[in-house]
Amino acid sequence: MASPVWHPYAHLLTQAAAPKVVGGEGPRFFLEGGETLLDATCSWWCMIHGYSHPRLVAAIKEQADTLCHVMLGGLTHEPADRLARELVRITPPGLEHVFFSDSGSVGMEVAMKMAVQYHNLRGKPAKHRMLSLMKAYHGDTSGCMAVCDPEEGMHSLFSGYLPRHHFAPAPRAPYDAGPDEVARDLAALRSVLERHHGEIAALLMEPLLQAAGGLNMTSPLYLSGARQLCDEFDVLLVFDEVATGFGRTGKLFAADHAGVTPDIMVLSKGLTGGYLGHAATLATDRVHDAFVGESPLHAFMHGPTFMGNPLACRVALESLAVFEEERYLDKIAKLNGVLREELLEDEALRRHPDVDDVRVLGATAVIEVKEASRLQGVAAFARRQGVWLRPFGRWLYTMPAYVTSEADMRQITGTMKGWFLK
**Which residues make up each annotated binding site?**
44, 104-105, 137, 240, 269, 303-305, 390
Upper half-sphere CA count for residue 293 (Cβ side, 13 Å): 16
Which residues belong to the annotated binding site for substrate? 44, 137, 269, 303, 390
Q: Within 10 A of 277 (CB to CB), how many other CB atoms are there?
A: 18
Q: Which long-range contacts (CB under 8 A, 24 or more apart) does 147-152 make?
A: 147/108, 147/112, 147/204, 148/213, 149/213, 152/213, 152/214
Q: Which of 127, 135, 251, 269 is labelled catalytic?
A: 269
In the residue annotation, 269 being an active-site residue is answered as: yes
Which helix (H) or strand (E) is 238 found in, with range? strand 236-240
Which residues belong to the annotated binding site for pyridoxal 5'-phosphate? 104-105, 240, 304-305
**C-alpha angle 112/264/208, rounded to 5°?**
100
* Strand bridging mode 395-398 / 200-205: unpaired
Q: Which of 9, 65, 180, 422 is labelled catalytic?
A: 9
Q: Which of 330, 326, 334 is nearest to 407 (CA)?
A: 334
Burial of 93 by CB count in 10 Å (0-12 exposed, 13-18 middle, 19+ buried)?
exposed
> Can you say whether the dihedral through the CA atoms of 150, 133, 207, 350 is positive or negative?
positive
Q: Which of 51, 118, 137, 402 is labelled catalytic?
A: 137
In the residue annotation, 9 being an active-site residue is answered as: yes
8 Å CB contact between 242 and 75: no
The residues assigned a catalytic role are 9, 137, 240, 269
